[in-house]
Chains A and B, each alone.
Chain A
Amino acid sequence: MPRIAQGVSVSPLSELDVDVIRADFPALRQTVNGEPLAYLDSGATAQRPTAVLDAERSFLETHNSAVHRGAHTLAGLATEAYEDARATVASFIGAQTNEVVWTSNATDALNLVAYGFANSTAGRGGQPAEKFMLKPGDEIVVTEAEHHANLVPWQELAAVTGASLRFVPVDDNGTWSLDDARAVISDRTRIVAFAHVSNVTGFVAPVKELVELAHNHGAFVVLDACQSAPHRALDVVDLGVDFAAFSGHKMLGPNGIGVLYGRAELLDALPPFRTGGSMIVTVTMEGADYLPSPQRFEAGTQPVSQAVALAEAVRYLSAIGLDRIEHRENELAQRMLVGLEQIDGIRLIGPPIGVHRAGLVSFDVEGVHAHDVGQYLDAQGIAVRVGHHCAQPLHRRLGLTASTRASAYVYTTVDDIDRFLAAVAQVRPYFGAI
């Protein structure tokens, strides 16, 4: 699989390249409210290229059947396709195949880890799972910028184990530093969970440094990679994280499929969260013992065609090159920032202009609620996200209840950005805010 290593100079993704890429996305060919669609909500859900749609359909038209059960020809072919997809995604993030667990989405993956700790604490998993046991006095550390999916499961885990949840506070931009993290992480810390890339600020966390800090204190690291896996080269072994989670639908793939990465020795010791068929070795009326990872976490029928399609999405992204995507998206983000800064009454959230960030920008329009901003843009065929982006604590910290977010991806053109900027410039005059 083509994969461009970090640090290797790459040819930038040009406007011409993007035009070619766009032709692969049927959803981008439509008009919305009479205008060509400018889709700037890929941070929520990305559109899918024909290759991904075809891969899923082709699987369903030929190999569709139950995996890891049955002995007929299609069952074999489906199992093979399902496991090949796992190998493709594992290679994409630098992991071994048995370190990739299919989940229904990233939220599901994060819950799987949190409930694994909870079940360990309840005594499940025996001696190998003792390292996951939590007790009063132990601390789970997150940041104030987390998506609810990487916050609420840890609140639940703290509540059921008696551990305390602490957080790394953010500054007025919604970002945080290693020093902020050092002030919170201690020998009491057992888990550090944070987003690689913030879905609100576009801030890129110093993952390696934080992993070193956490590991020096004996804590496990859980990485929310939802906004990084689709947009930049992600090597979980190089980063050194213990667990990582991401979703298929944000990376040109289907809904209903997500990934949990975990270091093999950890996954093999973590008690399962969801139990039932296909994850057991022996079942008696008294109990059961479980398969090793990944099967032990994949009870019940699985999202097979979705896994196959996600592997195709990964191949598609790899063929473009993740380093090129990252570079392009930073350029688009900087164009948004510079353009927005010139508009009166716009408050930008996140790292300042010039600081490398992910291809998304959130902002507040003085005197106009985000929903009204989004509605105004939508009338011009421009799709953005409005609301709290599942990060209420971060918005509260910034003194906001909601913000507007524009997020770019491989198919975003400079014209999309410029139309967006021109429309935002008209928002306050329209609503009489100036």
Chain B
Amino acid sequence: MADALTGLYQEVILDHSKRKIGFGELENPGAERFERNPTCGDEITLQMSMEPGTDRIASLAWRGAGCSISMASASVLADTAPGMTIPEFRETVEAFREMLRSRGEGEPDIEVLGDAVAFHGVSKYVMRVKCAMLGWVAAEVCCDQLVAAARD
């Protein structure tokens, strides 16, 4: 039993679900997005800001309540996104999504995903994929807002 679960609840995930990196609010967020998983009620409010005059993500903060998978994935996201350019970050989100849709097949690219590879095991649990995507979907929308604001 324990072995079956370890694939899902990697140490990295259990650790992040408690540390909750980036938990809080930004002083001057350039973008904000609320996402909710209607099946379980998990929710997250995510904020992002850009370094002025660049397309580089300056900071990311979030608040929310949910299962260990959704909380850990938001924490890993907050650890991953700052410092990336928007195109780099979008590529990472796409790789993350692809990994979660893999149904446990293939090997995720640790160069692109970093700590987020720990969520590879989640892809075998179709009911939990949405949990892992929750914060990342919010971040994608924030990117759209940041890009739109920079254009204005």
Contacts and interface: CB of A to CB of B under 8 A. Distances in A.
Interface string B6-34: 00110000100010000000000000000
A34 B1 contact: yes
A45 interface: no
Interface string B33-49: 00000011111000000
Interface stretch (A7-15, A164-172, A228-236, A384-392): A384-392
Given A371-B128, A388-B41, A431 B68 contact: yes
B40 A432 contact: no
A375 B125 contact: yes
A380 B2 CA distance: 9
B40 A375 contact: no
Given A33-B1, A371-B131, A372-B68, A402 B14 contact: no
B4 A33 contact: yes
Nearest to B39: A387
Contacts of B18: 432
B3 to A, nearest CB: 9
Contacts of A20: none
B79 to A, nearest CB: 19
Nearest to B5: A379
Interface residues of B, number: 22
Contacts of A34: 1, 4
A431 B68 CA distance: 9
Contacts of B126: none
B65 interface: yes
A255 B64 CA distance: 36
Contacts of A380: 1
Interface residues of A, number: 22
A147 interface: no
B104 interface: no
Interface in B92-138: 125, 128, 131
Contacts of A392: 41
Nearest to A401: B41
B128 A402 contact: no
B83 interface: no
A369 interface: yes
Nearest to B6: A379
Given A371-B131, A431-B68, A432-B14, A376 B41 contact: no
A388 B18 CA distance: 23
Contact of B41 (A372, A375, A395): A395
Given A369-B66, A371-B131, A375-B125, A35 B41 contact: no
A193 B34 CA distance: 33
A376 B5 contact: yes
B45 to A, nearest CB: 14
Given A375-B8, A431-B14, A432-B18, A401 B42 contact: yes
A397 to B, nearest CB: 14
A380 B131 CA distance: 21
A120 B18 CA distance: 55
B67 interface: yes
A386 B65 CA distance: 15
A375 B128 contact: yes
A401 B42 CA distance: 7
A371 B1 contact: no
A200 to B, nearest CB: 13
A369 B68 contact: yes
Given A369-B67, A375-B125, A432-B14, A387 B1 contact: no
A371 B14 contact: no
Interface string B50-88: 000000000000000111110100000000000000000
Contacts of A430: 5, 9
Contact of A379 (B4, B41, B69): B4
Interface in A381-412: 386-388, 392, 395, 401-402
Contact of A401 (B2, B5, B65, B128): B65
Contacts of A369: 42, 66-68, 71
Interface in A20-37: 33-35
Contacts of B42: 369, 371, 401
Contacts of B66: 369, 371, 401
A402 B71 CA distance: 15
A387 B66 CA distance: 10
A388 B42 CA distance: 10
Interface of A: 33-35, 368-372, 375-376, 379-380, 386-388, 392, 395, 401-402, 430-432
16 contacts: A369-B71, A371-B66, A371-B67, A375-B125, A375-B128, A376-B5, A379-B4, A379-B5, A387-B39, A387-B40, A392-B41, A401-B65, A402-B41, A431-B9, A431-B14, A432-B18
Interface of B: 1-2, 4-5, 8-9, 14, 18, 39-43, 65-69, 71, 125, 128, 131
Q: Which 4 A-B pairs have the closest CB atoms?
A: A369-B67, A371-B67, A401-B41, A379-B5
Given A371-B40, A401-B40, A431-B14, 14 more contacts: A33-B4, A369-B68, A371-B66, A375-B5, A376-B5, A379-B2, A379-B4, A379-B5, A380-B1, A387-B41, A395-B41, A401-B66, A431-B9, A432-B14
